[in-house]
Structure 1
Amino acid sequence: MGSAQDYKFEGWMGYDKSAADGKLVWTEFDPKVWEETDVDIKVSHCGICGSDLHVLRSGWGPTKYPVCVGHEIIGTVLRIGSEAASANPSLKVGSRVGVGAQSDSCRNRIPDKKCKECEIGQENYCQHGFVGTYNGTYANGSPSAGGYATHVRCPAHFVVPIPDSIPSELAAPMLCAGVTMYSPMKRNGCGPGKTVGVVGLGGLGHFGVIWAKAMGADRVVVLSRKRSKAADALAVGADAYIATEEDEDWVGANRNSLDIIISTISSNKHLGDYMSLIKARGVMIQVGLPDAGVFEIPTGPLVRGIKFEGGLVGSPGELVEMLALAAEKNVKPWVNVRPMKEANQAIVDMHEGKARYRYVLAN
């Protein structure tokens, strides 16, 4: 199971901010230094995430170039460390698996630093050793490298099985975009008896509609600037659509009508108006993150008991739970499959908003 590799790790590397303009370079790279808790995966598919573009252009702080991005990874297991099976008994050579936006945490391995989050299965909120699947650093000092590549190596704990009924190209975007929406919606009681608003219909937003319907919400409303995406919103499953720059008095007509709003946009515009649509003691969930990382939150709606919160990807347990729901409800995100060799053009097209609603690279 832990035999030495006979394959090379090759991928699209970004060497500076210009990489986000479609200037990735295909090259061989050194993977994480092998540990017996690790797994090697042959990548078949990798979704393109907005996070990839942020990191390539150093949007969320200085990027550790060179970097191989991609954290919506599907592939087959090639190599399993001697200690990996105890960390993840479901793993077998040849099995189809996925890796999301996180590939390690402290897992309570740091002396004198007990991590409650890792202990209770919320590794995505680990305070001592969160490692992103790319642009991170493992405890052994190795940089993490993502899925715009032929192969990925990471700790077995963060590798999840993919249900047989979900095609790889549909499973890939669930591993970041999907769980980023699923986790806070589930945590805040999305389900029967609830009305849900989704701000922005894109890679994240269309998942918001999909999950709200899969969880059994009574009513789902999409809010976007123009009416151009109204037909898509209804086709994805929304019950209603609001065009905030075209519909007259959309605030007054919909005040106090929603239990939950989840916003995918990276802007403060209309934030107070959105919050006025929420019922007393409802919740505003913000998952869109601007490069500056700053939001101005209006205090008026908060005095009505409205909670404002966010979310950070999902734990391995949440990924498994979400994939089970997707299999049960036959969830089908909207994806466009692109050859891995077209990664540069695909990220440019993604930046220009051409994806409907998620690009997935295929080896």
Structure 2
Amino acid sequence: MTTVAAYAAPAAKAPLERTTIERRPVGEFDILIDIKFAGICHSDIHQARDGWGEGIFPMVPGHEIAGVVSEVGPGVTKYAVGDRVGVGCFVDSCRECEYCEQGLEQYCAKGMTATYNALDKDGEPTYGGYSTHLVVDENYAVRIPEGLALDVAAPLLCAGITLYSPLRHWNAGPGKKVAIVGLGGLGHMGVKIAAALGAEVTVLSQSLSKQDDGLKFGADHYYATGDPKTFQELAGTFDLIVSTVSAPLDFGAYLSLLKTDGALVNVGAPEEPVSMNLFSLIGGRKTLAGSAIGGIPETQEMLDFCAEHGFGAEIELIRAEQVNEAYERVLASDVRYRFVIDTATI
């Protein structure tokens, strides 16, 4: 075992603090990653504060991890020392079910092993990317193309793939009208990716305060959902709406914006239950769906796509000791558009 520095929440709702954790020895098919940057996802806050249920503490959050390989096990064939790699929301899966065999490890029938706040196959808790090093099986890492700087690549491991996967699955592209609800850490990546795929992109945000940014990221249109006229004007407009917000929506209102056979896909996960009138779906043969991250092959595809199109996330780089302040600013929507920890400061 190797002792490494990390930032952890010692208990639910407690401020994160500097500590040390144990990383397993590098096994035959493992790689050791010197973590360079770790993004802060809203889901880190949900879990560190028990918003999605009881967590495992102490908790080291972080599943937007970018770094460099510093050691490889004797059986490793995919990576070499010095390679630039990333790790996202999971670090293992059963590897045998129909979903794992299709490269859809995020939907593993036996449950993927989350990068943090989970138990590994040996029964030990997993610890995430707010740390200096990570040991992971080579099959659960992805290669970061040279065209992407590591700091702006880190958020792609969750925010990027969380938007890329549904946009690809529901065929966003030329001739399709796509709306992104919310222009935050997830939403700004949705706009960039949907625009790069060739779709006509609209941002639906509470206000017009980020309109200039949305248009700069590639949106064709920008509307304020706080204005009731928006829902009248855009009724029956979209083939696909992707909601990135983590607060309950008026599903009836948003479903009214879809064309017949359109889909409203949720990637934001509110802590509270939501309700809706099913006639909102029946009337236009509409789909209300959800989508989780992506598997390893699709995550690699997403990174290559972003590198090819010359963009990463919009970030604010912070020191590790600023993490608690960053959490409060995320909750206040005071970040443009993703905090990233420089792990050299841990």
What per-residue deviation string (whole Å, max 9, x for no partner) do you get for residues 280-306 of structure 1?
0111101110123x2323312312111
Give the direction of change, closer, same or farther, for the CA distance of 1:65–1:302 in structure 2 (3 Å limit).
same
Aligned-residue CA RMSD in angstroms? 1.5
Give the secondary structure class of the aligned counterpart of 1:29: strand
* Matched AA of 1:302: L
Tell me, in whole angstroms, the C-alpha distance in 2 between the residues paired with 1:222 and 1:298. Answer: 25
Contact map agreement 2:6 2:60 (CA 8 A) in 1? yes
Tell me, in whole angstroms, the C-alpha distance in 1 between the residues paired with 2:32 and 2:286. Answer: 45
Question: Normalization by structure 2: what TM-score?
Answer: 0.95
Contact map agreement 1:197 1:261 (CA 8 A) in 2? yes
Q: Which residue of 1 aligns with 2:225?
A: 244
Question: Normalization by structure 1: what TM-score?
Answer: 0.91
- Verify: 1:228 aligned to 2:223, yes or no: no
Q: Which residue of 2 aligns with 1:157?
A: 139
- Verify: 1:211 aligned to 2:206, yes or no: no
The offset of 1:340, in angstroms, is: 2.5
Give the direction of change, closer, same or farther, for the CA distance of 1:335–1:36 in structure 2 (3 Å limit).
same
Query: Quick one: percent identity of the two aligned structures?
Result: 38
Tell me, in whole angstroms, the C-alpha distance in 2 between the residues paired with 1:60 and 1:33. Answer: 31
* Matched AA of 1:285: V
Q: Which residue of 1 aligns with 2:244?
A: 264
Q: Which residue of 2 aligns with 1:14?
A: 9
Q: Which residue of 1 aligns with 2:291?
A: 311
- Verify: 1:320 aligned to 2:300, yes or no: yes
Contact map agreement 2:250 2:276 (CA 8 A) in 1? no
Contact map agreement 2:26 2:32 (CA 8 A) in 1? no
Give the secondary structure class of the aligned counterpart of 1:40: strand
- Verify: 1:82 aligned to 2:77, yes or no: no
- Verify: 1:182 aligned to 2:174, yes or no: no
Tell me, in whole angstroms, the C-alpha distance in 1 between the residues paired with 2:277 and 2:31. Answer: 46
* Structure 1 moving runs of 4+ over 3 Å: 32-35
- Verify: 1:170 aligned to 2:152, yes or no: yes
Q: Which residue of 2 aligns with 1:94?
A: 82
The offset of 1:250, in angstroms, is: 1.6
Contact map agreement 1:32 1:143 (CA 8 A) in 2? no
What per-residue deviation string (whole Å, max 9, x for no partner) do you get for residues 261-320 of structure 1?
00011333332111111110111101110123x232331231211111111111111111
Give the secondary structure class of the aligned counterpart of 1:183: helix
* Matched AA of 1:52: D
Contact map agreement 2:156 2:312 (CA 8 A) in 1? no
Contact map agreement 2:26 2:72 (CA 8 A) in 1? no
- Verify: 1:30 aligned to 2:22, yes or no: yes
User: Which moves more between the two structures, 60-69 or 347-356?
Assistant: 347-356
* Matched AA of 1:82: P
Give the secondary structure class of the aligned counterpart of 1:227: coil
* Matched AA of 1:199: V
Q: Which residue of 1 aligns with 2:336?
A: 356
The offset of 1:346, in angstroms, is: 2.1
What per-residue deviation string (whole Å, max 9, x for no partner) do you get for residues 69-94 of structure 1?
101001111222223x2xxx331011
Correspondences of 1:34-113 after superposition (within 5 Å):
34-83=26-75, 85=76, 89-108=77-96
Give the secondary structure class of the aligned counterpart of 2:325: helix
What per-residue deviation string (whole Å, max 9, x for no partner) do you get for residues 295-354 of structure 1?
323312312111111111111111110011101111232111112332232222222221
Q: Which residue of 2 aligns with 1:195?
A: 177
Gaps of 5+ in 1: 109-114
User: Which moves more between the two structures, 46-55 or 296-305?
Assistant: 296-305
Q: Which residue of 1 aligns with 2:108?
A: 126
Contact map agreement 1:46 1:148 (CA 8 A) in 2? yes
Tell me, in whole angstroms, the C-alpha distance in 2 between the residues paired with 1:265 and 1:347. Answer: 16
Q: Which residue of 2 aligns with 1:112?
A: none
* Matched AA of 1:153: V
Tell me, in whole angstroms, the C-alpha distance in 2 between the residues paired with 1:336 and 1:283. Answer: 33
Give the direction of change, closer, same or farther, for the CA distance of 1:208–1:93 in structure 2 (3 Å limit).
same
Tell me, in whole angstroms, the C-alpha distance in 2 between the residues paired with 1:333 and 1:31. Answer: 29
Tell me, in whole angstroms, the C-alpha distance in 2 between the residues paired with 1:350 and 1:208. Answer: 18
- Verify: 1:295 aligned to 2:274, yes or no: yes
Tell me, in whole angstroms, the C-alpha distance in 2 between the residues paired with 1:335 and 1:213. Answer: 19
Tell me, in whole angstroms, the C-alpha distance in 2 between the residues paired with 1:297 and 1:276. Answer: 12
Tell me, in whole angstroms, the C-alpha distance in 2 between the residues paired with 1:40 and 1:297. Answer: 47
User: Which moves more between the two structures, 117-126 or 24-33?
Assistant: 24-33
User: Which moves more between the two structures, 130-139 or 269-278?
Assistant: 269-278
Tell me, in whole angstroms, the C-alpha distance in 2 between the residues paired with 1:51 and 1:305. Answer: 32
The offset of 1:253, in angstroms, is: 1.1
How many equivalent residue pairs?
342
* Matched AA of 1:322: M
The offset of 1:102, in angstroms, is: 0.9
